[in-house]
Every structure is written in C-alpha cells, then in structure tokens.
Amino acid sequence: MILELDCGNSFIKWRVLESGLAEVRAEGVVGSDVALIDSLSALPGVLLTRCRLVSVRALEETDKLVNALVDAFDVVVCCAASAREVAGVRNGYDDFERLGLDRWLAMLGAFKLAQGACLVLDFGTAATADFVAADGEHLGGFICPGMPLMRNQLRTHTRKIRYDDAAAGKALEHLSPGHTTVEAVERGCMLMLRGFALTQLELARSYWGDNFTLFLTGGDADLVSDAIPQARLVPDLVFVGLAMACPLS
Ligand SMILES: Nc1ncnc2c1ncn2[C@@H]1O[C@H](COP(=O)(O)OP(=O)(O)O)[C@@H](O)[C@H]1O
Ligand SMILES: CC(C)(COP(=O)(O)O)[C@@H](O)C(=O)NCCC(=O)O
Ligand SMILES: [K+]
C-alpha cells in the first residue's frame, strides 16, 4: 500500500491507497509526526510499502519525518521536488525553487483536471492564489495570511481579544455583524478570506472571461465555498499533483 503525505505548516494530511488502485483505504489529519506514526500504526491490515510526500517545512524537519517513517514502516519514500516544468505546466517564479511545493502540486492537479486555464485558491495556514493559463504558463500568484494566522495575530497582538477555539466554530454559523468579540473577529476574518477569493476571481475573469476553472482547496476552503458557487471544491488537489510529481510504478 502507498502512503501519501501533504505536510503543511500546521497539519499533516495523510492517506493510504491500495497499490495500483486509486481507492483510498484510510485518511486523516494530524498535528505532529508522532501523531502520524500512531495513527498509521493503529490501522488494521495495512502494510505500507511506499510513500510519496510533499512538504513546505524546513529540510531538517522533513528529513526527520522521513527517517521516522523508514524506521517505523520500512517504506521507500519519494519526496516531491521543485521543477521548471511538469505535465505541461511551466513554473512562473523567477527562481522556480522558491515556489511553495504545495502550490506547485495543486497547480499540476488543477491543470490536469481542468485541461485549460485555471485559478487555484488554497486556504491553509496561508491563503494562496495561483493562475495557470490555457497553455500551461503559470502567471504567478498571491500569498496572504489564512484564517489561523489572522485570528492568532489578533489574539496575540491585542490586549482584549481572547477566546477559545470552541467559541470560534459557533461564531461562524451566521455572517451578520458580530455582537461579541469572538463573532466580530471570526466573521471579520472570514469576510477577509472571501474578499481575497472574490478579488482573485475578478482578476481571472479579466484575463480569461468565463473560460477558466476555479479550484478551492486547503483545510479552510469550505469557509469561502458558498460565496463562490461556481468553484470546484477539491480537497485532495495537492494529492492529485503529488501522484503526478512522484509516479510510483
Ligand atoms: N480535520 C482537521 N484537522 C485540523 N484542521 C482542519 C481539519 N479540517 C479542516 N481544518 C481546518 O484546516 C485549517 C488548516 O488547513 P491546512 O490546509 O491543513 O493547512 P496547512 O496546509 O497550512 O497545514 C485549519 O485552520 C482548520 O480550520
Ligand atoms: C505559501 C505557503 C506558506 C503556504 O503554506 P501552507 O499554508 O499550505 O502551509 C507555502 O507554499 C510556502 O512556504 N511557500 C514558499 C514561498 C512561496 O511560495 O513563494
Ligand atoms: K497546504
């Protein structure tokens, strides 16, 4: 079986596939290397042989995780690496190695699924936008703080904004102006995310009219999805690209 990992700045997204099949046997989201190994060890009837992984973490941190996986499961690990061009998509950064690998893989996945121009919006620790033209040229992108960074900046850098995560979830049941601190902050940050998304959508329209596909991905994608009904919500977009960057055959 194949283990797939998407190591973001906050969470590790994992899933286990049957070798040679697209079928997902098990999947999850964990906050640490130890929690990952524990979750995988607890899976009944799973024998991992290979692993493909993408990480936006520091090299030493990623190496540490790879070593832990090899020790625990004796897997052969393939780490996605930067490239100038894959599957018809051309990296648009001045220095192609500086482009976040999660962004790159999400673009590869999106271009494969769309077969044409696409806008990829990823809502994780950071919120990112990337534009890929119909000929596969990456036109560049934008990065801004995602929901966890926005709320934590307010909680850390003000004296009186304090609330816990449980209160945060409830505050987002509506989007009317808040009557409590938690409602005001959570709804305000959510509107910032939506504003970001709608601005990217306008830019894409100015480039391509209606001839493009808009993809939403990342753990907080559902915070903006009902504001953009025409978008395709593809939570595993990075994994689609990961399989392209690390073919295991
Ligand atoms: N099962 C989950 N565990 C943790 N966070 C989740 C989960 N499902 C959705 N989220 C949301 O996903 C966000 C993190 O998104 P993610 O794409 O995993 O970030 P990153 O790739 O930067 O680690 C969190 O702010 C949280 O609101
Ligand atoms: C922009 C990111 C921080 C997003 O990371 P994430 O929110 O998915 O954890 C990551 O793609 C990254 O570290 N990129 C390198 C800088 C760049 O893409 O220009
Ligand atoms: K991510």
Mean pLDDT in runs of 10 for the chain (249 residues)?
97 93 92 98 95 98 98 97 98 98 98 98 98 98 97 95 89 94 97 98 98 98 96 98 92
Smallest CA-to-CA distance from 140 within 181, 79, 99, 82 is with: 99
Residue 130 and residue 21 in one domain? no
Is 175 inside a domain boundary?
Answer: no
Is 100 inside a domain boundary?
Answer: yes
Is 205 inside a domain boundary?
Answer: yes
Rounded to the nearest angstrom, the distance between the alpha carbon of 220 and the centre of ligand 1 is: 6
Is 246 inside a domain boundary?
Answer: no
The per-residue pLDDT for 212 is 98
Residue 12 and residue 75 in one domain? yes
Is 171 inside a domain boundary?
Answer: no
Smallest CA-to-CA distance from 198 within 129, 95, 146, 149 is with: 129
Question: Hey, what are 3's tokens?
Answer: 């283990």
Residue 126 and residue 203 in one domain? yes
Rounded to the nearest angstrom, the distance between the alpha carbon of 195 and the centre of ligand 2 is: 20
Q: Which residues line ligand 1 (CB under 6 A)?
A: 8-11, 13, 29, 124-125, 147-148, 218-220
| Annotation marks residue 102 as catalytic | yes
Q: Any idea what the CATH number is for the domain that residue 215 is in? A: 3.30.420.40
Is 40 inside a domain boundary?
Answer: yes
Is 245 inside a domain boundary?
Answer: no
Return the ligand 2 atom nearest residue 56 CA: 13
The per-residue pLDDT for 19 is 83
pTM of the model: 0.97
Give the structural domain span for 210. 95-146+187-237
**Domain termination site, one of 44, 79, 114:** 79
Smallest CA-to-CA distance from 215 within 206, 204, 207, 192 is with: 204
Mutate to test the pocket of ligand 1, among 10, 39, 215 (most ligand atoms within 8 A of CB): 10
Residue 18 and residue 130 in one domain? no
Which residue has the least CA distance to atom 8 on ligand 1?
A: 219
Ligand nearest to the CA of 148: 1
Residue 15 and residue 130 in one domain? no
Rounded to the nearest angstrom, the distance between the alpha carbon of 8 and the centre of ligand 3 is: 5
Return the ligand 2 atom nearest residue 102 CA: 11
Report which DSSP code applies to 53: E
Residue 225 and residue 108 in one domain? yes
The per-residue pLDDT for 195 is 98
Ligand nearest to the CA of 218: 1
**137-144, Cβ contacts within 8 angstroms, sequence gap of 24 or more:** 137/90, 137/92, 138/89, 138/90, 138/91, 138/92, 138/93, 138/107, 139/92, 139/207, 140/92, 140/93, 141/103, 142/196, 142/200, 144/196
Is 162 inside a domain boundary?
Answer: no
Which residue has the least CA distance to atom 21 on ligand 1?
A: 8
Return the ligand 2 atom nearest residue 122 CA: 8
- Looking at the DSSP bridge assignments, the partners of residue 119 are 131, 214
Q: Tell me how many domains the chain contains.
A: 2
Contact between 101 and 124 (Cβ < 8 Å): no
The per-residue pLDDT for 20 is 76
Residue 27 and residue 106 in one domain? no
The per-residue pLDDT for 164 is 86
Kindly name the residue from 33, 63, 102, 236 that is annotated as catalytic.
102
Mutate to test the pocket of ligand 2, among 59, 62, 128 (most ligand atoms within 8 A of CB): 128
The H-or-E segment that residue 213 falls in is strand 213-217
Rounded to the nearest angstrom, the distance between the alpha carbon of 135 and the centre of ligand 3 is: 25
The H-or-E segment that residue 67 falls in is helix 59-73
